[in-house]
Amino acid sequence: MKYKNIKSMLHNFGHSFMSLMNYVDGEYAIDLLAATLKERRQDRLEIHFPSQRIEPLADYSSRLRKSVGYRADALPGHMASHGVSLEALPEIVLVIFRDSTGMHCRVQATDDRGKTYDVRVTKTA
């Protein structure tokens, strides 16, 4: 287990989720997220991995849920490619939020030693 790789693994996971490679049923996940925040008049969503829980709890589109499901399925391989074990990070949270400058993403987690990570992913839109 390479604890030193956790921060970069979290950053890369956030980027892959928010990238144009995350495309489901004809729509980009980033567009789904932006539309969801706008139509629900929310400024923040939290997506929990591997549980796939989206907060605030609500009925989200099947495309968004499918995208989250695909990323949850890929998470073990992504972590392994960085030398990070699933047991070390029982929960990873993508925090997607809007402010006056646009939409942003942070990835948060606490490892099995109690160390907390809060990794900023580049502004997305």
Q: What are the pLDDT digits (tens) for 82-121?
A: 999 999 999 999 999 988 888 899 999 999 999 999 999 9
Query: Based on the number of CB atoms within 10 Å of its own CB, is 122 exposed (0-12), middle (13-18) or buried (19 or more)?
Result: exposed
Distance CA(73)–CA(21), nearest Å, equals 15
pLDDT at 123 over 80: no
Q: What residues does each domain of the chain span?
A: 3-121
- What DSSP string describes 33-52? HHHHHHHTT-SEEEEEETT-
* Nearest residue to 22 (alpha-carbon basis) of 55, 79, 68: 68
* Nearest residue to 64 (alpha-carbon basis) of 39, 101, 100, 91: 39
Averaged over 57-67, what is the pLDDT?
88
Distance CA(122)–CA(103), nearest Å, equals 10
Backbone angles phi, psi at 107, to 5 degrees: -120, 125
Averaged over 39-51, what is the pLDDT?
91
Record the pTM. Answer: 0.90
